[in-house]
Every structure is written in C-alpha cells, then in structure tokens.
Amino acid sequence: MKVFITGGCGFVGEHTAAALLEAGHQVFLYDSLFNSCPETLEALRRITGERLPFEQGDIRNGERLLQTLKAFGPDVVFHFAAFKSISESFQKPLDYYDVNVSGTLTLLKAMRACGLKRLVFSSTVGVYPENAPSPCPETVAAAAPHPYGETKVMIERLLSRLGDSDPDLSSVILRFCNPAGAHPSGLLGEKARQPQGNLFPRIWQAARGELPQVEIFGGDYPTPDGTAVRDYLHIMDLAEGCVKAAEYSLGHQGTEIFNLGSGAGASVLSVLRACERAAGRCIPFRIARRRPGDRPEFIAATGKAESILGWKARRGLDEICQDAWRYESHRN
C-alpha cells in the first residue's frame, strides 16, 4: 500500500509512519513543520533504514498538495495535520477552523482532482458531549463542547455527506483517546512546539525540573482516588490501529467511525505514580481546582474496532511511561 500522510512529522504521524513501514507499506510525509521538526525524518531513517519522501507544505496550499499527491499516487491518504489544543481553540477559533476545516476542504478537493478515494481521518473522543456514558460507544451523538472538537465534528459530517454523494469513497474516521508513550527505540516521541495542556508533557517537564510541580485539576471527583479518570493509549498501539484502518479502507466503501482507545481507565494520580516508577524519581504535584468542562471519567468503548478492524490495544500504563521516559530522558 502507498500511504500519504498529512501531519506526517507530528506525534501521531511519525509513529504511524514507523508502523506502516514495519508492515511493509510505502509512505510519503507531508507537513508544514509548524508543530514538528525535520529531525523526525532522520529518526525514522535510523529506525527503518529508509529515507522517507517528504514535502514541506501547508494543507491549505491546494496547488502544492495536488502536485505532491499526483506525483506519489497513494492508495490511501491519512489526514493528521491539524491544530489540537482544546484551550487554545477557545482563544484562536479562527485559526482552528481555518487549519482544521479549510485545510481539510483543500485536501479533499485535491484528492478529488487526483481521483483518490480513500481517507483515514484523525478525529478525537473530544467530539463526545460532556454527559457521554463511560465506556462510550461510537453511536453516541457527537456534540463537542469546544471549538477544537467542533472542527472535528464538522469534518466528520462532511465526510459522511461526501460518502452519500459518491458510493466509491471510503472514509475511516478514527476517534483517538489520549495517546502517550513513545517508540521503543527512544528516537521518536512527543516534541510539540505548540503550548501543551496535556498531562504527560507536563509530568515530564516536572520530572526534568523544568516545572516546579504538576497541577492536577480536581481531587474531589467521584473516582477511587478523587482525580479524573481517562483512557490513555500507547502511541504504538494507536499507530498499529491506523495501519489496520488503512488496510480495512482498501476493501471498504462508505463512512465508518471507530474509537481507538485502550478501553481501560487510569486516574491522573495513577498516571503520575506510573511516571515516577518509570523515571525512578519523585515528581512533585499539587491538587488544583477542577477545570470547567472536565468530566470525572471518560473511557472509550473499543469493541467495534476489535470486531471489525481486528485491533485491540496491547500495551499498558507502565509500558507507556517506560517508553516515554526513555525518549524524554535523552531529548535536548
């Protein structure tokens, strides 16, 4: 399979590229490097022994996308390029709709002009409403409580409408839970330039002494230790799920949605303790007030991905933390 990846140098893109190459597929990376860096290409070469074709470009640049897609001629397009911070999306909604929604429209037009019919799209479990059940199945209606999630809902709906208009199209929508961890080589990992609100980057910053402490938002939730419970997924499990989705799309027509999560919950405090075990040091933390809109627990129902894609997360929290720390403890 020939796979074209937008956002190919980002956290999800680089690990998915590694998993695709390991499964014997060909990969082309397209990225503006807005939130990533070219060192990813060298890391991928060291892991896979291959120098990957890469084009630095914006997904809103239709002409460049068109020429690059035409030249590579992929079987499947993975669309990962996006802005992804919930808090930032409240401050910069225009940028989020522009990159996420307009960027996707430009990509879809370029795909149509090249006759490309298969897309794997990275959505998020952030599209589920605040009162969604946990575990949450794909059948729960999307109603994102923030602009970032709304951009994903808009694209999901657009893909569904497109599928109705052209029976040959295949769109596989993957709603990711919280990916964490790193490639076991220690060469790839999360190195975002954008401001980070996510838990793991803050924990590692505190572990390296770059943050005085980790703020844990809410210690009085109705959960076993009072901190919020989330579904964390090893980034290599997620990457392998993306490979399965692409293989599935080859024989699929229409629009299909899958949650990709571990199907298990971990509290924020248990994550911090697992990080301490992996790093072999205490990580200071402070319980702060709950953040508005945060729910006590969210776990994804993953039965659909298991039964249709034949995919299930295999790695646990300790492996996530050990692999992430191997990367974090050596990065500059």
User: Site size for ligand NAD, by CB under 6 A?
Assistant: 28
Q: Is 96 in the active site?
A: no
Give 138 or 219: the residue with its C-beta nearer to ligand NAD: 138
Q: Are strands 232-234 and 26-31 parallel, antiparallel or unpaired?
A: unpaired
Other CB atoms within 10 A of residue 118 CB: 23
Amino acid at 192: A
- Regarding 264 and contact with ligand NAD (CB under 6 A), the answer is no
Sequence-ordered alpha helix ranges (H) in the chain: 11-22, 39-48, 62-72, 86-91, 93-96, 103-114, 147-165, 199-207, 235-250, 268-279, 303-304, 317-328
Asked if 16 interacts with ligand NAD (CB under 6 A), we say no
Work out the burial of residue 220: count CB atoms within 10 Å of its CB; fewer than 13 is exposed, 13-18 middle, 19 or more buried: exposed
Q: Which of residues 84, 183, 234, 326 is near ligand NAD by CB under 6 A? A: 84
What is the residue whose two structure tokens read 């839970």? 177
**Tokens (6 digits) for 134:** 């946990």
Interface residue with ligand NAD among 192, 211, 264, 287 (CB under 6 A) is 192
Interface stretch with ligand NAD, choices 53-61, 129-137, 284-292, 306-314 (CB under 6 A): 53-61
3, 4, 5, 12: which one binds ligand NAD (CB under 6 A): 12
In angstroms, give the least distance from the CB of 100 to ligand NAD: 7
How many residues in the chain?
A: 332
Rule CB under 6 A: choose which of 32, 104, 227, 255 binds ligand NAD: 32
Active-site residue, selected from the candidate residues 148, 221, 232, 327? 148
**332 vs 321: CA distance, rounded Å:** 18
Choose the stretch contacting ligand NAD; rule: CB under 6 A; options: 6-14, 129-137, 209-217, 314-322.
6-14
Residues that bind ligand NAD (CB under 6 A): 6-7, 9-13, 31-36, 58-60, 80-82, 84, 99, 103, 122, 124, 176, 178-179, 192
Active site residues: 148
